[in-house]
Amino acid sequence: MRRFVVGRTKSLVNRYQRSRVLSSTPLLLDSPSSMAAPPSSSHPSPPVTLETINPKVLKCEYAVRGVIVTLAERLQHELQANPGSHPFDEILYCNIGNPQSLCQQPITFFREVLALCDHPAILDRSETQGLFSADAIERAWQILDQIPGRATGAYSHSQGIKGLRDTIAAGIEARDDFPADPNDIFLTDGASPAVHMMMQLLIRSEQDGILCPIPQYPLYSASIALHGGTLVPYYLDEATGWGLEISELKEQLEAAKSKGITVRALVVINPGNPTGQVLSEDNQREIVEFCKKEGLVLLADEVYQENVYVPDKKFHSFKKISRSMGYGGDDISLVSFQSVSKGYYGECGKRGGYMEVTGFSADIREQIYKVASVNLCSNISGQILASLVMNPPKVGDESYESYAAEKDGILSSLAKRAKTLEEAFNHLEGVTCNKAEGAMYLFPRIHLPQKAIKAAEATNTAPDAFYAHRLLHATGIVVVPGSGFGQVLGTWHFRCTILPQEDKIPAIVSRLMDFHKGFMDEFRD
């Protein structure tokens, strides 16, 4: 059976046992000496050590901001302090879906509305009419009227501002052609907190499992570890463009059951991260049917729904698919995640997102609301952005033409970058790369020489991490080893974003090709 290859930290609690040495001299309770304070140690133990922290934290790993990124930041500081100290003049971050850090410009309409909401005093000034579009001013007034006190610095309802949830529900309804209820919407600080909330709800112990794709976005393995559950892997088929086979789901579900694990949910990432595939409608229907039959919660990560680059594929939400199959809100438990960090908007730092929760009983909904209430509410700027993403300017609005040009320009450029990098990877010796149908990443497979694998083992490093380290030191290009996402045993990959600006792509391709040729020549068997 295939194994899930992701670094695991053994519990240090089991490895280290603290012992207490008791004095063999009996205490004389009436004697003055018995009342004296014990001698103080010249080197007292720190109150927090690796042996005394929560072992779940030790098990948690997040490769996207892992060791290689830390090294890249160090090299960047060295370049700033001492230009020319490395064989490259800049670090090219291809490790994380963070568009604006790589100079993608925010959508003008969204930022105009945010600025006006954050400083409403300027709405009544005459000069504002010349600086901001009329529809941005009107939208800001509409949003402020929905916020208690018209203050973006105030707390909101724990699910998010009701008027903004109304707007998001209307946007979902327009997207799917099926009704959406604003009471099903929970606004969150990006999609990640929503995922954590669902893991908190579903995981009771290590005997509870969550089916996750391999390769997977490490948020899932990290959150499952933090909440004390078990990741049950199902392997995407690289040979068929990272296909999701129902037979694989069934096999892994039965294997988990045989180990006494109760599988609670299935995670599906569509479009895929790190793999970039877009699921077909037929495949989605099979997945819905599987979850319905097996009584699993379907956790649909749909944060890349705007990022589809091939004409023969289209995004369909799992809610739309399930409703089109005749399943109502009570027939299947479904949680859909959306974020303002991805798409064409790339507003990662604003931390906006939501989850749409359907198919849960009223008493469970109360518990979800309670968990949301512990954090009081998500930030208001993120809530506003989530409403703008789901209700952008329409035809006839003053901002529509500029908005549409910005959106189309970003998405068409991403498609070009994906194609250029995909072709470059496939021209490298021993490298194969599936097409990036969507999302923001490519996940090429590297067939490393045995000499390179042995060199990696000699440094106690995974072979793909060894490759990524060498690539960074030689070129300044930062990628994430595939071992941080999981992969079939004996295969090696890395994830590379398509986000560097178009004028940077030729330099990335050139540096990568030169490095790879030298690497293969050095380690050729």
User: What whole-number distance in Å separates Cα of residue 309 and Cα of residue 41?
Assistant: 65
Are 211 and 234 in contact by the 8 Å Cβ rule? The answer is yes
pLDDT at 197 over 80: yes
Q: What is the predicted pLDDT for the residue at 43?
A: 67
Domain extent listing, the chain: 66-95+404-523, 157-389
Class of the 157-389 domain?
alpha beta
Q: Tokens for 63, please give them.
A: 């490769």
Q: What is the pLDDT of residues 246-291, one digit of tens each?
A: 999 999 999 999 999 999 999 999 999 999 999 999 999 999 999 9
User: What whole-number distance in Å separates Cα of residue 514 and Cα of residue 88?
Assistant: 13
Q: What is the pLDDT of residues 452-510, one digit of tens each?
A: 999 999 998 899 999 999 999 999 899 999 988 888 888 999 999 998 888 889 989 99
DSSP 345: T
Q: Tokens for 226, please give them.
A: 């933090």
Residues sharing a CB contact under 8 Å with residue 31, sequence separation 6 or more, in sequence order: none
User: What whole-number distance in Å separates Cα of residue 409 and Cα of residue 370?
Assistant: 42
DSSP 215: S
- Residue 232: strand, helix, or coil: strand
pLDDT averaged over every residue in the chain: 86
Angle ∠(179,338,373) on CA atoms, nearest 5:
90
Of residues 279, 283, 282, the one with CA closest to residue 313 = 279
Q: What is the pLDDT of residues 219-250, one digit of tens each?
A: 898 889 888 899 999 999 999 999 999 999 99
Q: What is the predicted pLDDT for the residue at 287?
A: 96
User: What whole-number distance in Å separates Cα of residue 486 and Cα of residue 224?
Assistant: 14
DSSP 7: -
Of residues 488, 4, 504, the one with CA closest to residue 232 = 4
Buried b / exposed e across 318-351, counting CB within 10 Å, b at 16+?
bbbbbbbeebebeebbbbbbbbbbbbbbbbbebb
Percent of the chain with pLDDT over 90: 57
pLDDT at 44 over 80: no
pTM beyond 0.75: the answer is yes
Q: What is the predicted pLDDT for the residue at 19?
A: 31
Q: What is the pLDDT of residues 3-37, one digit of tens each?
A: 444 333 333 333 323 332 223 333 333 333 444 45
Fold of 66-95+404-523: Aspartate Aminotransferase, domain 1 (3.90.1150)
Residue with tokens 């097996």: 294
Residues sharing a CB contact under 8 Å with residue 381, sequence separation 6 or more, in sequence order: 114, 117, 118, 152, 350, 352
Task: Indicate the pLDDT class of residue 63, thresholds 50, 70 and 90.
Answer: low
DSSP 393: -
Q: What is the predicted pLDDT for the residue at 222?
A: 87
